[in-house]
């Protein structure tokens, strides 16, 4: 795992796209209700298509984005409050949920609903803490989304996006579907203008006293582009 061969592999990034799904997501009700992100996403798409016609980014569709299950699709509760995130942010922070693994949209949606309930009911937060969650079904689950400040890394929430792998990854790594979805999500964030092109990738343990995102997963992300402890 974490071989150097995967590092900086543009072919890998480019090959991750799923255009029709990205379009479906851009216009999903969940995205529209999340403060105009659908419009921003479309503009980002079109701008990228003009800049990079030879990379296969065409038709107003961003091939770099993974399939994102919207809040309405996973059955989210409405947030009690939202604080706008000033983007593009310079950091992306990786977490694990330390919960059960999931390998289907139904079971991952159930996990995400449980995490949202825990964060809102027990922690007293306004919403699920993470910006996005990543399942071993290969889907990404919309948490607070691109432009709402998260609650995932103390003192870093205002300047980062928090992505969390669903499951516990201290002694095993996430499957390839989840790892590829996460890499794609990072590229998606850059291409949409929510994450700086000169971003740095960090694990939660690099910014707060915690074991998160687990030893096994941490070893993997240390090998990813733009990682900085
Ligand atoms: Zn964490």
Convert the pLDDT of each residue in 6-29 to its tens digit.
Answer: 333 333 333 333 333 333 333 333
Question: 205 C-alpha vs ligand 1 centroid, how far in Å?
Answer: 7
Question: 60 C-alpha vs ligand 1 centroid, how far in Å?
Answer: 34
Question: 169 C-alpha vs ligand 1 centroid, how far in Å?
Answer: 11
Please name the residue that has the structure tokens 């403060």: 35
What's the whole-number mean pLDDT along residues 73-80? 98
Contacts of 33 (CB under 8 A, 6+ apart): 71, 72
What's the rounded Cα separation, in Å, for the pair 103 and 114?
16
What's the rounded Cα separation, in Å, for the pair 159 and 150?
10
Give me the CATH topology for the region 73-221.
Lysozyme-like (3.40.80)
**Residue 106 pLDDT exceeds 70:** yes
Question: 9 C-alpha vs ligand 1 centroid, how far in Å?
Answer: 27
pLDDT tens track for 158-208 = 999 999 999 999 999 999 999 999 999 999 999 999 999 999 999 999 999
For the chain, the structural domain boundaries read: 18-61, 73-221
Please report how the helices 19-26 and 37-51 are oriented relative to each other, as an axis angle in degrees rounded to 10. 140
Question: 49 C-alpha vs ligand 1 centroid, how far in Å?
Answer: 34
Would you call 15 helix, strand, or coil by DSSP? coil
Structure tokens at 56: 């296969």
Question: 53 C-alpha vs ligand 1 centroid, how far in Å?
Answer: 37
Q: In what order do the strands lie in the sheet with 160-165?
A: 68-69, 140-142, 132-134, 160-165, 89-96, 195-203
When pLDDT is cut at 50, 70 and 90, the band that residue 32 belongs to is: very low
Question: 164 C-alpha vs ligand 1 centroid, how far in Å?
Answer: 7
Question: 204 C-alpha vs ligand 1 centroid, how far in Å?
Answer: 5
CB 80 within 8 A of CB 120: yes
Question: 139 C-alpha vs ligand 1 centroid, how far in Å?
Answer: 19
């Amino acid at each position: 795992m974490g071989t150097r061969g995967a590092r900086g592999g543009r072919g890998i990034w480019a090959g991750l796209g799923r255009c029709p799904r990205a379009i479906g997501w851009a216009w999903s009700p969940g995205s529209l209700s999340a403060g105009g992100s659908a419009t921003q996403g479309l503009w980002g798409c079109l701008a990228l298509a003009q800049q990079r016609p030879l990379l296969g980014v065409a038709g107003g569709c961003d091939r770099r984005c993974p399939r994102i299950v919207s809040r309405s699709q996973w059955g989210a509760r409405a947030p009690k409050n939202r604080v706008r995130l000033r983007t593009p942010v310079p950091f992306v922070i990786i977490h694990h949920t330390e919960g059960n693994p999931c390998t289907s949209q139904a079971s991952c949606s159930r996990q995400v609903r449980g995490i949202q309930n825990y964060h809102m009911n027990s922690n007293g937060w306004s919403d699920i803490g993470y910006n996005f969650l990543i399942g071993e079904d290969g889907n990404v689950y919309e948490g607070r989304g691109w432009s709402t400040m998260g609650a995932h890394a103390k003192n870093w929430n205002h300047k980062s996006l928090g992505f969390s792998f669903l499951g516990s990854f201290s002694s095993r790594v996430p499957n390839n579907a989840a790892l590829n979805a996460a890499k794609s999500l990072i590229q998606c964030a850059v291409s949409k203008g929510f994450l700086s092109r000169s971003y740095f990738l960090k694990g939660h343990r690099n910014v707060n006293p915690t074991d998160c995102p687990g030893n096994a997963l941490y070893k993997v992300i240390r090998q990813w582009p733009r990682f900085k402890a």
